[in-house]
Copies of this chain bind each other. A is one copy, B any other.
Amino acid sequence: MTQFNQLIEDLKKLNTGLFGKDFLLTWDKTEDELKQTLLVAEALKHLRDHNISARCFDSGLAVSNFRDNSTRTRFSFASACNLLGLEVQDLDETTSQIAHGETVRETANMISFLTDIIGIRDDMFLGAGHTYMKEVGDALDDGFKHGVLPQRPGIVNLQCDIDHPTQSMADLLHLVNYYGGLDKLKGKKIAMTWAYSPSYGKPLSVPQGIIGLMTRFGMEVDLAYPEGYSLIPDVVEMAGKQAVASGGKFRVVNSMEAAFKGADIVYPKSWAPFSVMRRRTDLLQKADKDGLKSLEQECLANNARFKNWECTEDKMKLTKDGKALYMHCLPADISDVSCKEGEVAASVFERYRIETYKEAGYKPYIIAAMILNNKFSNAAEKLENLYNSGKKRIL
């Protein structure tokens, strides 16, 4: 049986309800649904790598709504849409204001008359990003129900304040391929740890996404951060429960060394403290520039107390056989390369550089899988048809 046929067989065994459902948080999805997303992504990559067209749409629009700057997620989304035959139209809300009520409801409908999918990135304000996506979803439901929209466009979360599912799922697919199967992750230890960076205000969605996803598959997840750099409490609590349910472990530690010890995988990455993000959100909403300035100073000074939270060669030696897989969502703050002192030593990063690129390379396929699952009730059949038709991409 070919690799592709195996993917299709595995897909057919799953019992899922992704069709017509937005992809906002990985923890709203069943294990089968997450597996389906991984399998469809693999199948799409297989088609592409074998020059078979994965075009599912003759024409159609995908709207990208970036409420924060982005290069790689923008390209991942554009690549995913193009792969399936959708054309991206950007809705750039340059002013990072938080739109409310009527405006959201109306705009959601105005951009959706001929739209199949909407990708949203809104990670600036704690308590706002996920809420905004649900508000857009409600507006689309309303428009569809009342006959304004001939179809209900799906929503893909391209990063919110709570989760970053396209990143964490790409990370997971990287691990699946690195270790040779999802079942191989059981018992593997991953250290999701804060790391020093000379910048400020980085979102919490990456570490939250990682602990919220990796605890689903029996992994041993250590979350490490210095005093004060906690995440959203609900997400941390949920991660703990998920670990128990999946036969894994989850603990919070306060040293990078403790998390690295015996780890198979390390994910050292900076973020802002939950409490700071809340204050920042308040100040942004009040447009208090002086307040924001002094908060930044305070935070950078506080960050600087933890410059030893760097992923160095010495710390890597603490990991399993000294050979843990280093992961990062990129771009990393590399000491002596992108900054004087940063998240990771240059020699460590360089050794895993190609792996981090491969990790990133799964994102377009994960996004495309989320779109395909949303728009087609039988993903396996759809993929099989594409494969069997054998239509070339490069003609």
Contact = CB atoms under 8 A, between A and B. Distances in A.
Interface of A: 48-49, 53-61, 63, 71-72, 74-76, 78-79, 82-83, 85, 87-89, 91, 101-103, 106-107, 109-111, 113-116, 143, 146-150, 330-331, 334, 337-338, 354, 357-358, 360-361, 363-364, 375, 391-395
Given A143-B357, A358-B147, A58 B55 contact: yes
A114 to B, nearest CB: 4
Contacts of A88: 89
In the A-B complex, the 9 residue pairs with the smallest Cβ-Cβ separation, listed nearest first, are A79-B114, A148-B357, A53-B58, A146-B354, A72-B110, A78-B89, A113-B361, A58-B393, A109-B357
A360 B110 contact: yes
Contact of A113 (B60, B113, B364): B364
B48 A55 contact: no
Contacts of A85: 59, 395
Q: Dominant SS at the A interface?
A: mixed
A150 to B, nearest CB: 5
Given A87-B82, A357-B106, A394 B113 contact: no
A99 to B, nearest CB: 11
A61 B78 contact: yes
A364 B392 CA distance: 25
Contacts of A57: 393-395
Nearest to A142: B354
A330 B71 contact: no
A379 to B, nearest CB: 14
Contact of A394 (B60, B354, B364): B60
A120 to B, nearest CB: 15
Given A71-B91, A75-B91, A113-B363, 4 more contacts: A48-B114, A55-B59, A110-B360, A148-B357
Contacts of A91: 71, 75
